[in-house]
Amino acid sequence: MRVLIQRVSRADVTVEGQTISKIGKGLLILLGVGHGDGEEHAQFLAEKVANLRIFEDEQGKTNLSVLDVKGEAIVVSQFTLYADTSKGRRPSFIDAALPDIAAPLVDRFIEFLRGHGVPTQAGQFGAHMQVEIHNDGPVTIWLEK
């Protein structure tokens, strides 16, 4: 499982002209599910994301988590995080899990993140989404389990 986290001042997700998710300060999380990933990966990464200290404290040091700043999150399924570009010019996505495996694990990740106290919204699995990200910093972190 791969997670690309962006600290945001705000973010939203639109599908077919309708905003389906919108947050202020918090995290925009792009989540990729690969072959062999399971609930234990989702649980581990959700706990890591909830407690990752990437927000600044009063002294400007990154000592605070999304929980500490009472931030929110949006999780967007992103199979392209498993792109293999080692051959040719067209990425291969054979390492990404199929939708019938990936969709439930994305849902479980969201449930685990909410279980840690992070108000969490979601993109729409399999949809063509417009994701507006106001990266704060910018701060972008890659996690893998």
Q: How many domains does the chain have?
A: 1
Q: Is residue 143 part of a domain?
A: no
Tens digits of per-residue pLDDT, 58-102? 999 999 999 999 999 999 999 999 999 999 999 999 999 999 999
Tens digits of per-residue pLDDT, 12-43? 999 999 999 999 999 999 999 999 999 999 99
Compute the distance between CA of residue 142 and CA of residue 134 in angstroms, rounded to an integer. 17
The pLDDT of residue 110 is 98
Helix (H, G, I), strand (E, B) or coil at 55: strand
> Which domain, by its residues, includes 124?
2-138
Question: Which entry of 19, 62, 80, 120 is annotated as an active-site residue?
Answer: 80
Q: List the CATH number of the domain containing 63.
A: 3.50.80.10
Q: Is residue 34 part of a domain?
A: yes
Q: Is residue 120 part of a domain?
A: yes
Compute the distance between CA of residue 97 and CA of residue 100 in angstroms, rounded to an integer. 8
Q: What is the pTM of this model?
A: 0.95
Angstrom CA distances, 116 to 2, 65, 93, 110, 141, stand at: 19, 12, 31, 10, 19
**Which amino acid appears at position 32 of this protein?**
G
Q: Is residue 41 part of a domain?
A: yes
Q: Is residue 61 part of a domain?
A: yes
Q: Is residue 43 part of a domain?
A: yes
For range 33-54, the mean pLDDT: 98
Q: Is residue 60 part of a domain?
A: yes
Virtual torsion, Cα 138, 51, 110, 108, nearest 10 deg:
130
Q: Is residue 96 part of a domain?
A: yes
The pLDDT of residue 12 is 98
Q: Is residue 80 among the annotated active site residues?
A: yes
CB within 8 Å of 15: residues ≥ 6 apart:
123, 124, 127, 128, 129, 130
